[in-house]
A and B are shown apart, each in its own frame.
Chain A
Amino acid sequence: MKYIGKKLITMLITVLIVTMLVFLAFRVIPGDPVSNMLGTSYTAEKAARLRTQLGLDRPLPVRYAEWMKDFFFGDMGKSYTYGIPVRPMLAGKVPITVTLTLISFLLVVAISIPLGIYTAKHEDKWYSKAIDVLNQITMAVPPFFAGMIFTYLFGLILKWFRPGGFVNYSIDPVGFVLYLICPSICIALPKAAMTVRLLKSSVLGESRLDYVRTAYSRGNSTNEVLYKHVFRNALIPVITFLGVTLADIVAGSIIVEQVFSIPGLGRLLITSISTRDYPVAQAIIAIIACIVIIINFAVDILYKVIDPRIR
């Protein structure tokens, strides 16, 4: 209980620091939302009036405190550029990015865990070595490059999917998920390769330990030892890694959203930063930070479940 309480406080502090950083950053970025709203009819007087209307002339700490208070009660304000409330706007975007992240993550797990154990088990076979080589190469391919190659190969030559044929989940959930598969693979491949590598060495390292030898000498079968003892322990570093990976995937999805033109949080974030749409950008950054922190938290809890030695 004390542990969870401490973690919660850490989470809160982290969110506070992240949002404060964002507030400060926007303060020093040149340009403000007003110039976007007025476009080429910008004049100094008009801009000043509009700034007052938006409350941008008030001191920064006041604005921050107010934003924090509203955010806490679920009110994210109104977008400057779009003129519509932020919350319903993001409500439509979060599922897209979360689905993309989840599919990618599931792919990482689904590919890497069986493959990692398999290569560890058949360490000396030629196909295990071939997988190793493949792994090494896959790790070096940046998702956006993979995205381009995939679009060209599978989208335009083989016509397995329609480039840019994104459909919203509210219209066609199947098409939505299907379209996300290719981008997910691009995100997942290098991460899966790294996980396979890690899992393999972790399993191998673990199986050389004394307790495993003892287990074998007692006459246990290979599989039983592997799954009952080795795998469980070998999983710990892998879980840490997967936790970090999930956060990476959230970030990676921003670039991949751009390559595959998926209208998720990433694209909205990039444009809201460039139009200085503070309410939208702040809300998205706070949400992403919360997601990442919650993931880290979940990883910590998982640790305790798997390995009670960790305190």
Chain B
Amino acid sequence: MKKRLLTILSVLLTLTIALGGCSGRKAGDSSRITVGIPQDLEDSLDPHKAAAAGTREVLFNVFEGLLKPDVNGDLIPAVAKEYTVSEDGLTYSFILREGVKFHDGSPVTAEDVKYSIEKSAGMTGEESLIAAFSNISRVDKVSDTQVDIVLKENDVDFPAYLASVNAAVIPAANAAPDVTPIGTGPYKYVSRSPQENIIMQRFDDYWGEKAYIKDVEFKVEAGDAMIMDLKGGSIDMCARVSVTQVKQLGDEFDMYEGSMNLVQALYLNNAVKPFDDLKVRQAMCYATDTQEILDLAFDGYGAPIGSSVFPAFGKYFIPELADKYPRDIAKAKELLKEAGYPNGFDMTITVPSNYIPHVDTAQVLVQQLKEVGINATIDQVEWNTWLSDVYAGRKYESTVIGVDASSMTAEALLGRFYSKADNNFTNYSNPEYDKLYEESKVTLDDSKRTELFKAMETLLAEDAANVYIQDMAEFVPMNKKYEGYVFYPLYVQDIARIKLK
């Protein structure tokens, strides 16, 4: 009996070894980099269906629209060489760049552009991820090098949406964009394995400045294990690591410091009791201490903010608003008393469990709110539940989350507080705000628009619409072998600029 068992065992062992002996590791790769991502792209690779910001930031390397953002967030021409706007502001004429090729080698034609914009705008039956594209009346192919997009109503921000990955130009001939993504970007897609990795390779026929590194692997790695992997050498760089984690890495890594470009806040459902009361919201603002949150959960890093605009928005950002509600327990208690809650109240903070920084922030908030008598409990939910219950269903009391800007327009951040906006998940409603917003939509003069946006921003702070916290600091540890990581004011990972030292 024992003998037989041993035989089986040894056969199995030899089998594994023999199997293993057949092929070895392919050595001698010229240049490659492994980028750790904390979550798989749980999305289709069809750029027009990429719903998550995490997917878009990776696909940024593969796809381009007619326009694209540069490092400062300004729009630069990409697949289009230039564009003009008609007098009435309704027709945008795009002249295509010559010699732009798709990853499969075929040239980009005007048909491809027409097809892409129509598909992305939901005119071919799919759901559009860009709400503003419902404003497109039609897309015309004028000549082999010109495509006109005609709008129903004037929209000054329109070009910004064309720079989104969700409006990428893809070949009309590709029958299965889900499975074989083909774009025009500096990297071409090679393969993906769910929950494991996505592999890309430099596209040597790229029209612009070509990428440096040849092979790129985006490796999916659970957040906790990321540090060990960096340390162990199986990952070369990783975006958005916490400071405390960064400190464990030591000298083998260069540390790039930037900001995440989002508005992290304790968002309050302004339609439910007691958060429908301005005094309660203000009391909560006075009860929280942003600096303490930064010190405890973020090692002191992060930029405090006081309204729904983050610092990267230069001309719209009002830094003083961050100091509007300094910590003042007595005042908070006073306000609560006036609002009819002398003994505080119970509340729930709903947090998506996959975002550890938000969970950490919520834990500190619970402690701070306790001091004014507000008894908060944390309810961790899955991201999917958060999307359907909190964001879409608006069935929640409060939530900690970071809201990013899908494009470099003030509209992307402030539009959601318009009382009739689809994405107004905080149910904020103020007729004065609505008036300012409607006015900004039809104002063409830039300085006047800026004034309007600033007024809206101030109003949000005065109304204490939410307990605003910070724009989180972002740390990117990168192995010393590489250099050239750049931060965008948008949610983007530009691998093409990274090179070997």
Give A residues with C-beta under 8 Å from B. Answer: 30-33, 35-44, 46-47, 49-50, 79, 81-84, 89, 92-93, 106, 109-110, 113, 151, 155-156, 159, 162-168, 171-177, 227, 231-232, 235, 258-261, 263, 267-268, 271, 274-277
Contacts and interface: CB of A to CB of B under 8 A. Distances in A.
A40 B197 CA distance: 24
B44 A163 contact: no
Contact of A276 (B131, B384, B422): B384
A109 B4 CA distance: 13
A83 B45 contact: yes
B9 interface: yes
Contact of A173 (B22, B45, B387): B22
A265 to B, nearest CB: 9
A13 to B, nearest CB: 31
B142 interface: no
A65 to B, nearest CB: 26
A267 B193 CA distance: 12
A162 B389 CA distance: 41
Contacts of A156: 228, 231-232
A176 B21 CA distance: 12
10 contacts: A50-B127, A106-B9, A163-B229, A165-B233, A176-B20, A177-B20, A227-B2, A231-B1, A263-B194, A274-B354
A35 B193 contact: no
A83 B49 contact: yes
B129 A41 contact: yes
Contact of B221 (A30, A261, A274): A261
Contact of A42 (B12, B232, B383, B387): B387
Contact of A271 (B40, B44, B127, B129): B40
A259 B226 CA distance: 11
B384 A35 contact: yes
Contacts of B343: none
A82 B44 contact: yes
Contact of A39 (B1, B16, B23, B51): B51
Interface in B16-60: 16, 19-25, 40, 42-46, 49, 51-52
B320 to A, nearest CB: 29
A241 B112 CA distance: 62
Nearest to B21: A174
B478 to A, nearest CB: 16
B130 interface: yes
Chain B, interface residues (CB within 8 Å), range: 35 or more
Contacts of B423: 40-41
A173 B20 contact: yes
B225 A82 contact: no
B232 A164 contact: yes
Given A41-B51, A174-B21, A36 B232 contact: no
Given A82-B44, A156-B232, 5 more contacts: A40-B423, A162-B233, A176-B20, A268-B194, A274-B384
B234 interface: yes
Contacts of A49: 127
Interface string B227-254: 0110111110000000000000000000
Contact of A30 (B128, B234, B385): B385
A260 to B, nearest CB: 8
Contacts of B384: 31-33, 35-36, 274-276
Contact of B131 (A41, A82, A155, A260): A41
A262 to B, nearest CB: 9
A231 B2 CA distance: 9
A35 B387 contact: yes
A163 B193 contact: no
B85 interface: no
Contacts of A31: 382, 384-385, 387-389
Contacts of A30: 385, 388-389
Contacts of B220: 261, 263
A156 B384 CA distance: 35
B194 A36 contact: no
B179 interface: yes
Nearest to B20: A174
A159 B384 CA distance: 38
Nearest to A117: B2
Contact of B179 (A44, A83, A167, A173): A83
Given A156-B228, A172-B25, A232-B1, A39 B127 contact: no
Interface in B107-162: 127-131
Given A227-B1, A268-B195, A271-B40, A38 B129 contact: yes
